[in-house]
Amino acid sequence: MSSRTSPISQPIIRRAVARDAKRLTRLVRGSGAYAGKYAAAVAGYRVGPDYIEAHRAFVAVGADEHGGRVLGFYSLVLAPPELDLLFVADEAQGRGIGRLLVAHMRSEARAAGLDRVKVVSHLPAEDFYHRAGAVRIGTALANPPAVPWDRPEFEFRVSSE
């Protein structure tokens, strides 16, 4: 079985800590979703220990055979409510890690008393956010030179379950 099709046991989601910073930065910079014309957007991107400490950042780590390898992560900003980062390692995509992270984010948002969480999507992730239950609310206009293309804006509605 290839690594793309081999099973991953149910990941564990835990709060990110400062020592995760380098691994999260590598995950962002190495994302296949940012290849080609999108590469410049993450080339110098850094998820630093200060960022992790300032926001609600969580990592999905593989249990068992993956020895705690980071499979994905997200960062929830409370004010204003926004899903700032959500990345899944290329080799772990298509296995439900993104959906698991979104469900966890919604739970964290609910616990923080939020009823909505905005996300400005990377263009290749647009379909994922639709499938994960986000509703399109607009478009974030290009902001050259950092982001030279328009991006879809979504919103997750958080129930008070």
pLDDT digits 0-9 by tens, 7-48: 556 899 999 999 999 999 999 999 999 999 888 889 899 999
Record the tokens describing residue 61, joined without a space: 């780590």
C-alpha to C-alpha distance for 160 and 114, rounded to whole angstroms: 9
Q: Quick one: pLDDT at residue 62? A: 87
Residue whose C-alpha is closest to residue 141's, from 117, 119, 120: 120
* Structural contact between residues 76 and 117, judged by C-beta atoms closer than 8 angstroms: yes
Record the tokens describing residue 43, joined without a space: 């080339």
Q: Which amino acid is at 93?
A: Q
Give tens-digit pLDDT for 115-133: 999 999 999 999 999 999 9
Residue whose C-alpha is closest to residue 148's, from 40, 76, 55: 40
pTM (2 decimals)? 0.90
C-alpha to C-alpha distance for 27 and 57, rounded to whole angstroms: 14
Record the tokens describing residue 137, joined without a space: 């609310």
Cα-based angle 122, 127, 130 (whole degrees, multiple of 5): 105
The values of phi and psi at residue 104, to 5°, are -65, -45
Give tens-digit pLDDT for 49-83: 999 999 999 999 987 654 578 999 999 999 999 99
DSSP designation for 141 = P
C-alpha to C-alpha distance for 118 and 137, rounded to whole angstroms: 9
Residue whose C-alpha is closest to residue 86's, from 142, 49, 126: 126
Q: Quick one: pLDDT at residue 64? A: 61
Asked whether residue 3 carries a pLDDT value surpassing 80, the answer given is no
Q: Which amino acid is at 108?
A: E
Q: Sorting pLDDT into bands at 50, 70 and 90, what band is 1?
A: very low
Q: Quick one: pLDDT at residue 91? A: 93
Asked whether residue 4 carries a pLDDT value surpassing 50, the answer given is no
Give tens-digit pLDDT for 87-113: 999 999 999 999 999 999 999 999 999
Q: Quick one: pLDDT at residue 8? A: 53
**Among 76-80, 144-148, 150-154, the least confident range:** 144-148
* Structural contact between residues 122 and 34, judged by C-beta atoms closer than 8 angstroms: yes
Q: Quick one: pLDDT at residue 2? A: 40
